[in-house]
Amino acid sequence: MKDESTEGRELGMPPQEAAAAARTRIDALVEVAEKKHFTGPWTLFYKEILRFWNIAGQTIVSPVITTMLYFLVFGYSLGDRLQEIQGIPYVDFLVPGLVMLALISNAYINSAFSLFIAKVHGTIVDLLVTPLTYTQFLTAYVSAAVVRAMLIGLIIWVVSLLMGATAWFNIPLALLFMFLTALTFAFIGVVIAIIGEDFDHINLLPNFLITPLTFLGGVFYSIEMLPEPWDTISLFNPVLYMVNGVRYGMVGVSDVPVWHGLVLLVAMNLFFGGLALWLLKTGKKLRE
């Protein structure tokens, strides 16, 4: 806190210097407040949680039911024919892929559509002029998307276990892969929401990239079942490493080294997280 002598000196300053000094003090106070108080980012995070929770029938129940239909159709119809893959019952082999299928799509959808709607309605400007830092702003949106994705993934996992699957080989590792994957696609959702100009741009990525890569990432099969050169081509699909990381955590088998998936996810999070933060700071297509 500055004393009376400091105030006296500033009163005798030229107007521009006095304004600059006052601005410096205000910035310092705001910085201290931001470091000590988390009311702002928590409020934004809570708002985002309420947004999807108030329509839980669409945002949570619907994707869970859809995924469990996959489990019933593929798990029990193909399971009678395939029996086992890599020594694992096909029903157990299928669970990690279905968990990741739902987790990836919901992490992306939550952050992308929520932020894009705020941009379209103009409410994003009101948030950007608050004392929230860009890091706090990004953290609130991304955290809400991760919570939604993890919640849906865990529900599908638990329901699968109740339906007879045995998928709990290394639970901490499975949760780590789920979290890092959800975080990656939440960051991607923020990036697309910022640079997207209409809803077609938001839907473009899941329809023509995320969904195909997920289905071709070993959700329903092992790449060892593919002929050349498709098994080699599949190694360039990043989703393959995410699915197999969770699969190893759940049932103990993987088509690729698990550490490859961890390195890939860390790198993707750093890249897309940094890109999202940079786009927020530049205000690209947010204040236009």
Taking the C-alpha atoms of residue 28 and residue 32, their distance in angstroms, rounded to an integer, is: 6
Give domain status of residue 103, yes or no: yes
Please check the confidence at residue 7 and state whether its pLDDT lies above 50.
no
pLDDT digits (tens, 9 = 90+) for 208-236: 888 889 888 888 888 888 888 888 999 99
Do 30 and 54 fall within a single domain?
Answer: no
Please check the confidence at residue 87 and state whether its pLDDT lies above 60.
yes
**CB neighbour list of residue 175: distance below 8 Å, 6 or more residues apart:** 249
Do 27 and 64 fall within a single domain?
Answer: no
Q: Quick one: pLDDT at residue 273? A: 96
Give domain status of residue 164, yes or no: yes
Q: Are 120 and 113 in contact (CB under 8 A)?
A: no
Q: Quick one: pLDDT at residue 35? A: 54
**Backbone phi, psi, residue 14, to 5°:** -60, 150
Do 201 and 77 fall within a single domain?
Answer: yes
Do 29 and 93 fall within a single domain?
Answer: no
Do 10 and 95 fall within a single domain?
Answer: no
Structural domain including 2 reads: 1-36
Report how many domains make up the chain: 2
Give domain status of residue 287, yes or no: no
Do 135 and 166 fall within a single domain?
Answer: yes
Question: In this structure, what DSSP letter does residue 227 have?
Answer: P
Give domain status of residue 124, yes or no: yes
Q: Are 110 and 145 in contact (CB under 8 A)?
A: yes
Q: What is the largest CA-CA distance in the chain?
A: 88
Q: Quick one: pLDDT at residue 125? A: 78
**Backbone phi, psi, residue 286, to 5°:** -100, -35
Q: Quick one: pLDDT at residue 9? A: 44
Q: Are 255 and 246 in contact (CB under 8 A)?
A: no
Pairing type for strands 88-89 and 84-85 reads antiparallel
Do 15 and 130 fall within a single domain?
Answer: no
Is the model more confident about 169 or about 6?
A: 169
Do 29 and 107 fall within a single domain?
Answer: no
Please state whether the peptide bond connecting residue 229 to the residue before it is cis, i.e. omega within 30 degrees of 0: yes
Q: How confident is the model at residue 198 (pLDDT cuts 50, 70, 90)?
A: confident
Do 6 and 42 fall within a single domain?
Answer: no
Q: Quick one: pLDDT at residue 226? A: 86
Give domain status of residue 58, yes or no: yes
Q: What is the mean pLDDT of residues 72-79?
A: 74
Q: How confident is the model at residue 20 (pLDDT cuts 50, 70, 90)?
A: low
Q: Quick one: pLDDT at residue 138? A: 93
Give domain status of residue 16, yes or no: yes
Q: Are 214 and 70 in contact (CB under 8 A)?
A: no
Stated as kind and residue range, the H or E segment containing 214 is helix 211-215
Give domain status of residue 288, yes or no: no
Do 61 and 192 fall within a single domain?
Answer: yes
Do 122 and 248 fall within a single domain?
Answer: yes
Do 72 and 9 fall within a single domain?
Answer: no
Q: Quick one: pLDDT at residue 71? A: 85
